[in-house]
Structure 1
Amino acid sequence: MSDKTTGGRPGNPGNLPADPRSFIGRRDELDWLDKELDPGSGVHRLVGLVGAGGVGKTRLALRAAGRVRDAYPDGVWLVELSPLHTAGLVGLAVVEALRLADQSTRSVTEVLAEWAEGKRLLLILDSCEHVLADCVALAETLLPILPGLRVLVTSREPLGLPGEWVLRLDPLPVADDAVALFTDRAAAAAPGFVLDDGNRDTVKAVCRRLDGIPLALELAAARLCELSLAQLHARLGERLPSPLDLLTSDDLDAHDEPGPARHRTLRTTIGWSHELCAPLERLLWARLSVFAGGFCPDAAEEVCAGGPLPATRIEGLLARLVEQSIVLRHRTEPGRFRLLDTVREFGADWLRALGEEHAVRLRHRDYYRRLAREGCAEWNTGRQVAWCERTLTENANLRAAMDCALTRPGAPTTLEMAADVGFLWRHCGYLRDAQHCLDLALAADPAPGPDRTRALWARGAVALLQGDLDVAVGWAVRCADAAKEQGDAVAVVAATYITGGQLALSGRLSEAIEVLGAAPRLPVRDDGLGAAQLQVRLALSFAYLLRGDHDEARTVADEVRRSSADHGECWAGAFADCFVAQADLARGDVGAAVRNARTALAGHGLLHNTVGVALSLEVLAGAVVAAGDGHRAARLLGIGQCVWELTGRAQMNSPDLIAGRRIHELRVRAEIGDEAYEKAYVEGLAMPYEEGLHYAANGR
């Protein structure tokens, strides 16, 4: 199955980012990688690019992968590991990079192995050195059982596994490639700069002083916006002030290769760039190091302001750091910024030296705690899609902030944050993260109150989506008891979703209808509990559908659609559209079923709701075959199967949903014959995610 992200051009699944900068040098290395990464000629399935920080490992990996991606029909996938702060998350990072919306409780390696079976794909594990043991474990588990998998690793040291082919990356040759790179970047920083007989020797001297290290060359060239070449050359010869003695290779990167001399050259160049920054620019650089994955200007202002650095100065100072190549614009997200790993490490060391690390990390935690609180408060409104996108964009920072909070799992602020972040993660597809933070926060036996009730609801709702129905029973009881103890009537209603949802998915439909139908009809709120109120009614409509009470199901789903429209939300409304389509199909109104199923598909697509997309595709397939187009219906079932594979649980493990899907398949087979069905079904299976959704949504 191909997945939903394409790497720059149609028909090439993957997530390789575009790089607008020119790529200079490394011709021999690219030739070697072309051969080793080609499944038809390469002998080694684990390839390591090893070298010091700043030597260009990531850019070379991306360029090499881009040259061979046509050989990987199931994609070339970049897994960025630098944002990870704790062990045990590498497999989860791979799942997220592959856009697998896994909603099971199985091990991550099991999920990856099942999804990748029979596929041919290339994984790039970028920046492995700080999570080396996890990368080793993942590679030695997956490579023997997935013959179509190749892994390209960038790291400061090899994984050390048998069969690993290691290319140790040296700095660029000074005489040609280093000079060419410096000249190219200098021309960008100082328009009109050209290499000529008058400056060639000085440029070579600069490149030689910087040992041909690409990052050092780029940082130095960026300074030509304010220094002449002669001044640059002179400054590079100056000894740096003593604070840089804090940054020794023993303290920072003991595994850096190919040796401490080049390591010191890079550190010296970064330190030299640091010394050329104005004092407030240095302070901002240090404070920005707490962000994971990237940041927006608003977050930088709130997290980094304080003391001598007022918020009003940060926009201008950030622009200055961008001009100096200290801060880079994000590869794929306009309006966001990032730090290269080595530059961030330098800033983090200065932050520690300043004695500010704890305080700035707390400000980072509190910023994302407030963000999550606002997201939950507005979830059941017209801001819902925007909050979903914000959650996806800021996931690395939310995870880092949550990890910071969980260092004090019993603190009231930790419980509040876990309830809010867990709720957002549950609705945006990060079920494992939600389970992890909620389990830790609730294990501290927090005092009764609204935050505890919300956390219990979120944990039970996660268990339902994971199909962990036995576990869901326990959370349902705890949530119901907490809601009653709290005395919040809306919380009591919300708790019935866990109880009734578990009964419905277990096939105990009459009991589910009794529980869900008895829930009081209260005014629907705009916050997360308001969303839970709508989900109670959704679960009731779903139970009616499974029992075959289509008129009742449609009546309740229509009610949810109206309430969803009144609030401007989309999550519940899209499910309601899907349930209405199912009821329409059962009643023989095929045209309405097709329209409503496509409306549901569009709504779920806005929120990247994989389960909703899969359900809607199956309903649409049933409506399309009823309309007389069996070939199209078979393709839709193939597309839907691809999407179910992303979740790790076909038809949510529901016997009723599995039976319903089988009914659609048999109807299509009867309509067009087994051979035609298999052909069209395989065509659907072969469609990349976005192509499949486009096919389903457009009717042609």
Structure 2
Amino acid sequence: MRLRAGGATSRPAPDPRESGGLIGRSHESAALRHLLGAHRLVTVTGFAGIGKSRLADCTLGSWDTSPWRRIVRVRWDADVTGPASLAEAAAAALGAAPGTDPRPADLAALCGTERSLLLLDDVDPVQAECTRLVQQLLMAVPGLRVLVTARRPLGLGEEQVLRLSALPVDVPAGATGPAPAVRLFVERARDSAEELLARDPESARVEEVCRLVEGVPLAIELAADQLDRYSLDDLAARLRQGQGWLTSSYPALRRHQSVRDAVGASYQLCERALRVVWARSSVFTGSFTEASAVAVASGGGIDAQVIPSCLTQLTALGVLRATGDPGGVRRPRYRMTRAAREFGASRLTEAGEYPVAASRRTQHFQQVAAHAGRCWDSGDQLGAVRLVRDEQDDLLATAHHALEHPDPEHTDAALDTIVSVWFWWLAHGHAATGLDLLARLLPLCEPTRPSAVRGTWLAAWLAVDTDPAAARAFLAAAWPGAVLSGDDVTLGRVAHVEGMLALRQGDARAAAAHFADAAELIPAFVPGGPSPAVSLSALALVQAEHSPRAALRAARRAVSWPGVRDDAWANLVANYARARVDAAHGRPGRAWHRARRALDAGAAPPGHPTGPGHTALLHLIAELESGTSARPAPDPLFVPHPRPSHGPLPADTASQHS
């Protein structure tokens, strides 16, 4: 084992490659000074490459008036350890003669009675020994202060922990100049990056590079070292594929030679169960719950009961980040850092387990999507949208995995997943993403499957605004099978899309007939798609300018449709249509109050996604308050707004269906 020890008052010269100093760490440095002044044991923790040792070095080295007579530092340059290796290194650093028995009493005597600070740097390979030694020294030497840098705390009762996070990539509120991560990149890259940063487009590219490495200082510096071989565009393109390849030919520490080596050092310190859970959890693209981890990572010698403990330990190591409020009512979610996820995925692939883990992820999120669909149909639409929002990264990942690895089982499950959350694409403004996935998945699946039938009319609905020709092609595929099987639900939803297409062509007469057919064909309380109240609302909007009385009847039917009060989205659509009809009848005050009530009733909690329906209501309220009669642009994902028609509608277009 190679050791490097620092003696009394003398500090090792800073590594010329460690030029970042305290960039972006001034608050942490001040906090560390405060903790060292008030407590006897302080541990700086964080993920590999986050800058723990540098913060300790710079903070102690920049102290104007040191409160300690002696600063003793012990640091390892290799991960090879043996029995009592920490005590031997501490004895050597404290000035003991070679071969001295490093007993706690002897070490305490070497510390003396004067005020001393013992810096134990990178103690992860010998953490158990470190915990025992620190506890013994603090009890024996009242004037001793101990500063530890490690990936996780020691766990002693009097320990104060300063956990480091990544450098911000965005400029903090109230600050000026580049963000801390960008400043570190510029400092490391020297004059070439400063010149590039002076040009606005390149400045944005530097920010992208820092964001791709998630603001981790080691990765930022290694990325800056690549500028002699790659342009910023090429560097960003390579980093989008991964960051494990980032290397340095002259690292300060051997394990910092590359991002992969730094992460691998943490992996080597883990027990088998932690390694397996780490590797299997790397299949998650976004944040995930404990239940998701159990569904994917359990089995193969890993008991489901140990996974919660493994997640907690991986969070302490910095491999995972707990999101949300861990002590709140909702269960915590975990997100793996990008570097840790890439390393875990490589280990999972090497073990031959990646296909199995990906398949289990697909099955799990198929069930998650089905549960979200049931929540929506049962009236818990807020919960359904929250669930999809939280899981959307991995819901999309399952679909992309099925497209990249075509297999009937995977593609069918992916299509079921996408169709189950139809409301996310249709009612919450994600039409382009949903349409793209459906257009690519549908040709790979059996067209007679129920999910394929639903996916076809859903794709047609989503394509109306951007690609009417594609919408007609999807309708042509859905119509024959629905007619032959007597599937009134599909026929009704096809009719609604036909109405939107007719409205785009300016044929309000045909649009009204299609919307009326849709409302009659789709039964009440049928799951898996929009309520008939949505079609009645569209009918009322089409008739509002040409057949006011018929429009009023359709709007009244929409707001009183069975179950509409438990369907927040359909209720919002129906009240919007009724408010529009009231405005067309010369009752702007009544229309304003109805729109306002509908908006308040459908208000989502802060941070909750809203859809085009809320935007349409806000537009209507603003229009009524300003007294203008300008109509909003058509939005077929909500309800279509009528365009100039080929002629007035007959008054009985809707009455015959009333």
Does residue 574 of structure 1 match 2:565? Answer: no
Q: Aligned ranges for residues 327-476 of structure 1 at < 5 Å?
A: 327-330=320-323, 335-406=332-403, 407-408=405-406, 411-421=411-421, 424-444=424-444, 446-464=446-464, 466-476=465-475
For 1:254, the aligned partner's letter is: W
1:548 matched residue in structure 2: 546
Q: Distance in 2 between matches of 1:592 and 1:418?
A: 39
Of 91, 115, 120, the match for 1:203: 120
Q: TM-score, normalised by structure 2?
A: 0.58
For the Cα contact (< 8 Å) 2:255–2:262, is it kept in 1?
Answer: no
For the Cα contact (< 8 Å) 2:572–2:602, is it kept in 1?
Answer: yes
Q: Distance in 1 between matches of 2:340 and 2:406?
A: 29
User: Alpha carbons of 1:171 and 1:511: their partners in 2 closer, same or farther (altered >3 Å)?
Assistant: farther
Deviations 1:86-145 (A, max 9, x none): xxxxxxxxxxxxxxxxxxxxxxxxxxxxxxxxxxxxxxxxxxxxxxxxxxxxxxxxxxxx
Computing the radius of gyration from Cα coordinates, the structure with the larger value is 2
1:436 is displaced (CA, Å) by 1.6
Higher relative contact order (CA 8 A, sep 6+): 1
1:225 matched residue in structure 2: 155
Q: Aligned ranges for residues 177-326 of structure 1 at < 5 Å?
A: 177=59, 200-204=117-121, 220-225=150-155, 253-257=244-248, 261=254, 263-264=256-257, 267=260, 270-326=263-319
Deviations 1:395-414 (A, max 9, x none): 11111111122222654334
Q: Distance in 2 between matches of 1:429 and 1:409?
A: 30
2:593 matched residue in structure 1: 595
Structure 1 unmatched runs, 5+: 1-24, 33-52, 58-169, 181-194, 211-216, 230-248, 627-632, 658-700
Equivalent position SS for 2:376: coil
| Identity between Structure 1 and Structure 2 (%) | 21
Equivalent position SS for 1:459: helix
Equivalent position SS for 1:355: coil
For the Cα contact (< 8 Å) 2:286–2:394, is it kept in 1?
Answer: yes
For 2:499, the aligned partner's letter is: G
Q: Distance in 2 between matches of 1:223 and 1:581?
A: 60
1:278 is displaced (CA, Å) by 3.4
Q: Distance in 1 between matches of 2:455 and 2:119?
A: 63
For the Cα contact (< 8 Å) 1:544–1:550, is it kept in 2?
Answer: yes
Q: Distance in 1 between matches of 2:637 and 2:117?
A: 63
For the Cα contact (< 8 Å) 1:294–1:338, is it kept in 2?
Answer: yes
For the Cα contact (< 8 Å) 2:124–2:151, is it kept in 1?
Answer: no
For the Cα contact (< 8 Å) 2:21–2:54, is it kept in 1?
Answer: no
Q: Which has the higher helix share?
A: 1
User: Alpha carbons of 1:227 and 1:489: their partners in 2 closer, same or farther (altered >3 Å)?
Assistant: same
Q: Distance in 2 between matches of 1:605 and 1:534?
A: 20
User: Alpha carbons of 1:480 and 1:605: their partners in 2 closer, same or farther (altered >3 Å)?
Assistant: farther
For 2:354, the aligned partner's letter is: E
User: Alpha carbons of 1:611 and 1:471: their partners in 2 closer, same or farther (altered >3 Å)?
Assistant: same
1:301 is displaced (CA, Å) by 1.9
Deviations 1:383-429 (A, max 9, x none): 22211122122111111111122222654334333433555333332
Q: Distance in 2 between matches of 1:572 and 1:379?
A: 11
1:462 is displaced (CA, Å) by 0.7
Q: Distance in 2 between matches of 1:344 and 1:434?
A: 26
Q: Distance in 2 between matches of 1:218 and 1:361?
A: 39
Deviations 1:625-682 (A, max 9, x none): 45xxxxxx89xx9xx99xx89x99999897459xxxxxxxxxxxxxxxxxxxxxxxxx
Q: Aligned ranges for residues 97-136 of structure 1 at < 5 Å?
A: none
For the Cα contact (< 8 Å) 1:220–1:269, is it kept in 2?
Answer: no
User: Alpha carbons of 1:415 and 1:649: their partners in 2 closer, same or farther (altered >3 Å)?
Assistant: closer
1:590 is displaced (CA, Å) by 3.1
Equivalent position SS for 1:563: coil
Q: Aligned ranges for residues 607-622 of structure 1 at < 5 Å?
A: 608-622=609-623
2:534 matched residue in structure 1: 535
1:257 is displaced (CA, Å) by 4.7
For the Cα contact (< 8 Å) 2:435–2:462, is it kept in 1?
Answer: yes
For the Cα contact (< 8 Å) 1:456–1:475, is it kept in 2?
Answer: yes
Q: Distance in 2 between matches of 1:197 and 1:652?
A: 81
Q: Aligned ranges for residues 645-656 of structure 1 at < 5 Å?
A: 655=643
For the Cα contact (< 8 Å) 1:398–1:421, is it kept in 2?
Answer: no
1:492 is displaced (CA, Å) by 1.7
User: Alpha carbons of 1:315 and 1:588: their partners in 2 closer, same or farther (altered >3 Å)?
Assistant: same
Equivalent position SS for 2:301: coil
User: Alpha carbons of 1:353 and 1:650: their partners in 2 closer, same or farther (altered >3 Å)?
Assistant: closer
For the Cα contact (< 8 Å) 1:293–1:338, is it kept in 2?
Answer: yes
User: Alpha carbons of 1:653 and 1:489: their partners in 2 closer, same or farther (altered >3 Å)?
Assistant: closer
User: Alpha carbons of 1:475 and 1:425: their partners in 2 closer, same or farther (altered >3 Å)?
Assistant: same
1:209 is displaced (CA, Å) by 12
User: Alpha carbons of 1:222 and 1:199: their partners in 2 closer, same or farther (altered >3 Å)?
Assistant: farther
Of 57, 65, 68, the match for 1:175: 57
For 2:440, the aligned partner's letter is: L
Structure 2 unmatched runs, 5+: 1-18, 27-46, 63-110, 128-146, 160-222, 224-241, 646-658
Q: Distance in 1 between matches of 2:638 and 2:527?
A: 30
1:268 is displaced (CA, Å) by 5.3
2:481 matched residue in structure 1: 482
Equivalent position SS for 1:328: strand
For 2:54, the aligned partner's letter is: L
For the Cα contact (< 8 Å) 1:381–1:567, is it kept in 2?
Answer: no
1:503 matched residue in structure 2: 502
Q: Distance in 1 between matches of 2:472 and 2:590?
A: 37
1:363 is displaced (CA, Å) by 0.8
For 2:560, the aligned partner's letter is: R
Q: Distance in 1 between matches of 2:500 and 2:561?
A: 20
Of 550, 559, 562, the match for 1:561: 559
1:572 is displaced (CA, Å) by 1.6
User: Alpha carbons of 1:467 and 1:302: their partners in 2 closer, same or farther (altered >3 Å)?
Assistant: same
Deviations 1:22-58 (A, max 9, x none): xxx96774599xxxxxxxxxxxxxxxxxxxx95459x
2:656 matched residue in structure 1: none
Deviations 1:579-638 (A, max 9, x none): 111111222333321121113334565374442233212321333245xxxxxx89xx9x
Equivalent position SS for 1:524: coil
For 1:573, the aligned partner's letter is: N
For 2:454, the aligned partner's letter is: R
Q: Distance in 2 between matches of 1:651 and 1:417?
A: 25
For the Cα contact (< 8 Å) 2:468–2:501, is it kept in 1?
Answer: yes
Equivalent position SS for 2:559: helix
For 1:417, the aligned partner's letter is: T
Q: Distance in 2 between matches of 1:550 and 1:409?
A: 53
